Amino acid sequence: MKNKMFYILAYNILAKRLPISYHFPPAKIIRAFWARKILKSAGKNINIERGAVFSYEVSIGDNSGIGVNCEIYGPVEIGENVMMGPETVIYTRNHKHDKLDMPMNKQGFEDYEPVKIGNDVWISKRVIILPGVTIGDGCIIGAGAVVAKNIDPYSIAVGNPARVVKKRNQIVYWSTK
Residues assigned a catalytic role: 95
Q: Rounded to whole angstroms, how far apart are CA atoms 79 and 172?
A: 29
Q: Rounded to whole angstroms, how far apart are CA atoms 96 and 106?
A: 9
Q: Rounded to whole angstroms, how far apart are CA atoms 122 and 103?
A: 38
Q: Rounded to whole angstroms, how far apart are CA atoms 5 and 9?
A: 6
- What residue type is 176 in one-letter code? T
Q: 95 vs 73, 92, 109, 167, CA distance in Å?
A: 14, 11, 4, 34
The secondary structure element, H or E, covering residue 123 is strand 122-123
